[in-house]
Amino acid sequence: MIIEINPHNIDKRLIEQAVSVLKNDGVIIYPTDSVYAIGCRLKSKKGLEKLAKLKDIKLNKANFALIFNDLSMLSDYVKQFDRATFKLLNRSLPGPFTFILEANSIIPKLFDSKKKEVGIRIPDNKIVNEIINLLGEPIATTSLHDEEDELLEYFTDPYEIYQRYDEKVDLIIDGGIGQLYASTVVSCIDGEIEIIRQGIGELEL
């Protein structure tokens, strides 16, 4: 199923529909401020297992990031970080960045793993932010790769996503044409700032 949400005039009923799917252990495809992403409710074990299966990996080997809608949620999932890291996050987010931080003890339990680090995102996208605000918890997420296109690494056209994934996921959100490039990945472990992957976001140090 696909629904169209106008990011400039968001229909709350459609947001509620997406949240209902997530609360019922569903997997959704949705727009961000970079490429389209696929995800589920973080605390849904069924959803996490379905997401891992779609990526053809075991859950304990999954490297999913977490999408938040503001920095206040972070303290529940990551260890305390220094003031310089906070300032970097505060001036960069919302934006097309994935920041790798030290995970607290909750993350390994959720993923049945020994994960010590976790990527966090706060996209500059009203649709996903509204979803998380209503959901009340993060979305476990990964970028939606197009394995069949030799030129483009990611999907940009929601209709093409629908054709490929309609029977594989519970809901697809058409939020307009997606970007060609993924988020910039930045490691902030031990207070050391390192760009792991240069994407659409330009980091200001």
For residue range 79-136, what is the model confidence (pLDDT) as tens digits? 999 999 999 999 999 999 999 999 999 999 998 888 899 999 999 999 999 999 999 9
Residue 174 to residue 133: CA distance in whole angstroms:
19
- Rounded to an integer, the average pLDDT of 189-205 is 90
Distances (CA, A) of 35 to 54, 56, 72, 84, 96: 18, 20, 24, 28, 9
For residue range 42-84, what is the model confidence (pLDDT) as tens digits? 999 999 999 999 989 999 888 899 999 999 999 999 999 999 9
**What is residue 146's predicted lDDT score, i.e. its pLDDT?**
60
Nearest to 119 by CA among 39, 2, 57: 39
Report DSSP state, residue 195.
Answer: E
Element (H, E) at 37: strand 37-41
Lowest mean pLDDT among 27-36, 65-74, 139-148: 139-148
For residue range 161-182, what is the model confidence (pLDDT) as tens digits? 999 999 999 999 999 999 888 9
Q: Are 181 and 98 in contact (CB under 8 A)?
A: no
> How many Cβ atoms from other residues are within 10 Å of residue 166's Cβ?
13
Distances (CA, A) of 98 to 16, 33, 105, 188, 193: 26, 12, 20, 10, 12
Q: Are 134 and 16 in contact (CB under 8 A)?
A: yes
> How many Cβ atoms from other residues are within 10 Å of residue 173's Cβ?
23
* Tokens encoding 205: 């140090």
Name which residue leads in pLDDT, 27 or 190: 27
- Rounded to an integer, the average pLDDT of 178-197 is 92
**What is residue 168's predicted lDDT score, i.e. its pLDDT?**
94
**What is residue 151's predicted lDDT score, i.e. its pLDDT?**
47
- Rounded to an integer, the average pLDDT of 173-201 is 92
pTM of the model: 0.92
**What is residue 40's predicted lDDT score, i.e. its pLDDT?**
97
Longest dimension (CA), the chain: 46
